[in-house]
Structure 1
């Protein structure tokens, strides 16, 4: 409130903050479900719609585990094969529909500190980008871990630029905070089912 007027952003922000805190216990279904904001996260204005989903609505089974990426809500859901673990992470998603891929695929490779090479179309849009950023470099767009998908050039990966999470900001991939991709990387295996909707 300034000069006797109500600041709409302060009211909505206060409501969203209180509602978000009140809703946090809802993330725990069986004691193994967690949502934790990474230590490196600061106050963010990014938006991501979190709601728990049931794997049965999207997969026939959880064989090898299952990852569901909801592009609209900018959230990634993970279920372990034995269904004892469920995780929900905020994501970055592609900038536009023409960069977005939807459908079924799977994890085909797991890479620690992946190198990044822009595709030809990325270089065309951004000619000043380097041809290669080595894995482990602090400015590597793939962050600390990457799950390579069955579609060429598509990844679920980390990012050092935490401002991107919760936004339409990628060239096609799904981005996570580095802390979150490192956790998901430990759960996922080559063969984990992936569905982007």
Structure 2
């Protein structure tokens, strides 16, 4: 019998709280703007105790069956309501859940079924034509590195310009802060990168 697909809620919330505390420990910065969206990046909230901070959602383990017919090639669920990304391996023995950022508005949000078509470590970034129209001073291209809004790893989807990718700005996780993509902590997207493959099915809802 394969292990239960449900994650231990108490253990996960404990790790989420630790991640939130780590992000909050960063030095305070002045108002900054996300180069990928042009939106102001809110300052990290002040600590309010030992529980999870408000930029880390309250997660619950999910079963893959209500969302996918099978686990062929593995499955990724991007839950915009809880701002979490869930992963199930093809054999059902591996389940992960990660806090995520989501698009800043419904106009930039796309939902439905897609799949991973490309995996890139050290992605570069090129703003979309719409981004350049809104912000003509943005660079036409940004190489991989600490200033790149795509973070350390990116998973290309069948939808043009849509990615699941990392971020170097941990304040964005758990918030509406992307131009349409799903963002993860760099350490989490690196793990998801290692677990998925080209052909892994993805559902955004």
TM-score, length basis structure 2: 0.77
Quote the residue 2:87 is aligned against: 78
- The alignment status of 1:53 with 2:62, answered yes or no, reads yes
Of 156, 164, 178, which residue of structure 2 is paired with 1:156?
164
Instruction: Show the 5 A alignment for 1:12-161.
Output: 23-25=9-11, 27=12, 41-43=22-24, 45=45, 46-135=55-144, 137-161=145-169
SS where residue 98 of structure 1 aligns? helix
Q: Whole-Å Cα distance in 2 between the matches of residues 177 and 59 of structure 1?
A: 25
Q: How many residue pairs were aligned?
A: 169
How much has 1:72 moved relative to structure 2? 1.2
Gap runs ≥5 in structure 1:
1-21, 29-33
How much has 1:78 moved relative to structure 2? 0.3
Q: Could you say if the C-alpha distance between residues 182 and 113 of structure 1 is closer, same or farther in structure 2, counting changes exceeding 3 Å?
A: same
C-alpha contact (below 8 Å) 1:38/1:179 kept by paired residues:
no
Gap runs ≥5 in structure 2:
1-7, 25-43, 46-54
- The alignment status of 1:191 with 2:204, answered yes or no, reads no
TM-score, length basis structure 1: 0.80
CA-based RMSD: 2.2
- Relative to its length, the structure with more helix (as a share) is 1
How much has 1:35 moved relative to structure 2? 5.2
Question: Once the two structures are superposed, what CA deviation does each residue of 1:134-173 show, in whole Å capped at 9, x if it has no partner?
Answer: 02x2110000000000111100000001110000000000
Q: Whole-Å Cα distance in 2 between the matches of residues 143 and 183 of structure 1?
A: 13
Q: Whole-Å Cα distance in 2 between the matches of residues 162 and 63 of structure 1?
A: 32
